[in-house]
Structure 1
């Protein structure tokens, strides 16, 4: 791992550990104003966003954010022809460090925003994983936040990778939505 990079993950999940419905779409029922404000502020502070094809933040500042998008459509690393602030990266053809170098990222905070396989790639590298939970939402047959869910909970998977929970913060008291920082080395 590049020592000058801090790697943080962000996801909101339903009570059953899903980040999207069966159609791989985040439903409105999993969107909460408090979590949106938390997520937006975190991405505004990040120096680089990393995500897969289906994960994106769709926010007013999105076009201004430097990003790496994972794809199998290229051999290794390339500039994104549709976005001058984006790098395309195929992990089968190049390392994360090489993709960061190509993107001009040598230090700072990297925000990993999904999807499930992207989250899994960084499980042993997160400094902090911010797990937001919507305990009153269920998405039967939905897309799990990590490979291995629902057989194991998101918390069990994070703990299995050496992350420990910190104090939860309430983001939306009316719906019980909270965020818990899972940190390495506590």
Structure 2
């Protein structure tokens, strides 16, 4: 069976500092925006599979029903998650992405990348077809950034641009909180 590369889409909600979590890894209530949650859940519902780190997942009743790649350094080969037969434990340092995707048994479709920081960074190098970045006005100082270095040595925009991504559109999700979602895609794709 020939397996096509999936469309890779990233999904993150960030504070104004570019943080996705508090310093101890908790998802901050300040960036928990109902309109974003609805956008996010609708998006992962359309995906063929989800990629996340051991401590990041989309939550909800459908989480165990989705095919997924769980990125972890605790395995050296692809292993079915003992707690979820639809999930594959994957260490990118020992197994290429193409092999992990093939192991899921999905011919094509969308892979929704949902975090955390190291997972978002890895897929910058693999290549996003789109990255949906939800920006809030909330403050989460000293938290965990969406990408390594954000907040200390680089902005989110600088990291995305260094990896060949350009902002294509911005849409208001929630006027009351000033929350918007930006779509970033490869600059080589041209303006839309």
- TM superposition score normalised by structure 1: 0.95
What runs of 5+ residues in structure 2 fail to find an aligned partner? none
Query: C-alpha distance in 2, partners of 1:105/1:61?
Result: 18
Deviations 1:151-183 (A, max 9, x none): 211121111111111121111110000100001
Confirm or deny: 8 A CA contact 1:18 1:143 kept in the other structure: yes
Query: C-alpha distance in 1, partners of 2:4/2:162?
Result: 23
Query: C-alpha distance in 1, partners of 2:178/2:157?
Result: 17
User: 1:6 aligns to what?
Assistant: 7
Count of residues in correspondence between the two structures: 184
User: 1:129 aligns to what?
Assistant: 131
Please identify runs of 4+ aligned residues in structure 1 that moved more than 2 A: none
Query: C-alpha distance in 1, partners of 2:179/2:75?
Result: 38
Confirm or deny: 8 A CA contact 2:14 2:146 kept in the other structure: yes
Which secondary structure does the structure 2 equivalent of 1:24 belong to?
A: coil
Which secondary structure does the structure 1 equivalent of 2:121 belong to?
A: helix
Query: C-alpha distance in 1, partners of 2:129/2:4?
Result: 11
Confirm or deny: 8 A CA contact 1:131 1:180 kept in the other structure: yes
Query: C-alpha distance in 2, partners of 1:79/1:4?
Result: 21
Give matches, 1:152-163, under 5 Å.
152-163=154-165
- TM superposition score normalised by structure 2: 0.92
Whether 1:73 and 2:74 are equivalent positions in the alignment is yes
Confirm or deny: 8 A CA contact 2:160 2:166 kept in the other structure: yes
